[in-house]
Structure 1
């Protein structure tokens, strides 16, 4: 499983377009995107970590008047994002080392953060903190319990990992976020485990 974690970036660089074509455009995440949006100011800035081709998630926010900055490590997927929404910003970067020296009203890491090793996930909470404006919304997906799992993308092993719920709560609290909502394996969201939090104002 450790070897699979080492090649996750290369897999999406090689097979990003195949993943994109199989993703579909049905917005099964909408109930959670609506909850996230409700915490944002009108026209606010959203940071999408692991933005892929920017459709349908980034599109959801762009069509509602938000300013999106997307980050991804797959050049083919970033190319699609730039073609679709050239007026927004699409950056080639590994989220683990991200430092943009600016803060956002919303930070989204949907089906991306869970590709990181557990130790990298722990370190990501400082990245979240550094990029969160006071009161910012943070939403990410995880696994339902601590552990690692291997999926498949175009015949190659696709790494996933998760901490347990208590550790996520502790990390959020330690980095200045309050949990707003959390559902494990949400049946209304294709079984995704979702965390929605908000940065404290003080």
Structure 2
């Protein structure tokens, strides 16, 4: 992908450039991946608590979660995207926090998802965030996140910042080390790859 140098923020930007391109991000959102999240959400307990990590403006996933009858919590590091989220989904709770520093509302959840986030982070932060998401699951809880199956690096199309996938072998190892079982992987109509892992019921 082509690097867009005029959108490249400083290293101190916790949104990794997405606050600066919030309007373009919202305009580019589509329903791709919605069916994957619908299938995942349908397996969660009715009324269960779910945390969306890197929720952006909430489209297209928050409506899926709300329609499934879930109690939705969300975080995102972009103040502009968080403001848009609050306008659209006042019934959900969102905090403006980077995933690696967030206390995740100081609670645990029946489901945690992170769509389009993990691969934006440097490797060390990916490992931290994946471990935090795993530890935020209740017994029997479910994690869904997206990242390419292969180990690969590229420049983000909107921000021009580097993105990287650690690859399926590494992701499976991280989840296993946190006590999760990978129960499925899948791809959507846009060729985005998803990992579905669960914390075994105690």
TM-score, normalised relative to structure 1: 0.88
Separation (CA, whole Å) in 2 of partners of 1:116 and 1:174? 20
Name the CA distance, whole Å, in 2 between partners of 1:148 and 1:90. 30
Which of 121, 125, 128 lines up with 2:130 in the alignment? 125
Match of 1:148 in 2: 153
Of residues 72, 80, 83, the one that matches 1:79 is 83
* Residue equivalent to 1:179: 182
- Which residue of 23, 26, 31 corresponds with 1:17? 23
1:94 equivalent in structure 2: 98
In structure 2, the gaps of 5 or more residues are none
Asked whether 1:45 is paired with 2:49, we answer yes
Q: Which region of structure 1 is more displaced relative to structure 2, 28-37 or 60-69?
A: 28-37
Whether 1:190 aligns to 2:195 is no
The structure with more strand, counted as a fraction of residues = 1
1:167 aligns with 2:143: no
CA contact (8 A) 2:29 2:59 kept: no
* CA-to-aligned-CA distance 1:170-198 (integer Å, 9 cap, x gap): 11111011111113xx3x43110110111
Runs of 4+ in structure 1 off by over 3 angstroms are 3-8
Separation in structure 1 between the aligned mates of residue 59 and residue 156 of structure 2, nearest angstrom: 22
How many equivalent residue pairs? 194
Q: CA RMSD in A?
A: 2.0
Scaled by the length of structure 2, the TM-score of the pair is: 0.88
1:95-127, Cα deviation, whole Å (9 max, x unpaired)? 011223200111010001110111211122321
Check the 8 A contact 1:4/1:159 in 2, yes or no. no
CA distance in structure 1 between the partners assigned to 2:38 and 2:60 by the alignment: 14
Higher helix share: 1
Question: C-alpha displacement at 1:166, in angstroms?
Answer: 1.4
Structure 2 residue aligned with 1:136: 141
Q: Deviations over 1:107-165 (max 9, x none)?
A: 01000111011121112232113311111110111123223211221xx4133111121
Structure 1 residue runs of 5 or longer lacking an equivalent are none
